[in-house]
A = this chain, B = another copy of it.
Amino acid sequence: MAQYPERLNGIFQALADPTRRAVLGRLSRGPATVSELATPFDMALPSFMKHIHFLEDSGWIRTRKEGRVRTCAIEKAPFTAVESWLAEQQELWESRTDRLEQFVTEHTVTTHPKDTPP
């Protein structure tokens, strides 16, 4: 677990952009070319390509150029990386439910952005 933490930076950052999440959503259904992927977005191609490169560099996709067409396919490794990060947190969380419960009832931390007066 927690193999290459530095890879996680890119993996998560890739997901921080709606365009890139949408591209992954599309590629989850199956491979597609760059222009197929680009059409739904109101964005210049070079801008869009940056997202493709980001996804490739972060490991989310793998691409291959054949003739003048570049085809993209999703990669499953980052998926499992995210899942195991989540699982890790879950474990820690599980191992102290009691104390959390206690803290919540004792101090009742609110979600108000401003500090609540005493």
The residue on B at minimum CB distance from A89 is B28
CA distance A36 to B47 in the complex (A): 42
CA distance A76 to B82 in the complex (A): 16
The residue on B at minimum CB distance from A17 is B9
Contact A65 B115 (CB under 8 A): yes
Interface residues on chain A, size class: 35 or more
The residue on B at minimum CB distance from A64 is B109
Assembly of this chain: how many copies?
2
Binary contact readout A54-69 vs B (1 if CB under 8 angstroms, 0 otherwise):
0010000011111000
Contact B95 A86 (CB under 8 A): no
Taking the nearest CB of chain B, how far is it from the CB of A71, in angstroms? Answer: 5
Contact B109 A66 (CB under 8 A): yes
With beta carbons under 8 angstroms apart, the residue of B15, B18, B25, B95 that contacts A29 is: B95
A-B contact pairs, 9 of them (CB 8 A): A5-B18, A9-B16, A9-B18, A12-B13, A24-B89, A29-B92, A62-B110, A64-B115, A66-B118
Q: Top 9 A-B pairs ranked by shortest CB distance?
A: A28-B92, A13-B16, A12-B15, A12-B16, A65-B115, A64-B109, A28-B93, A28-B89, A30-B99
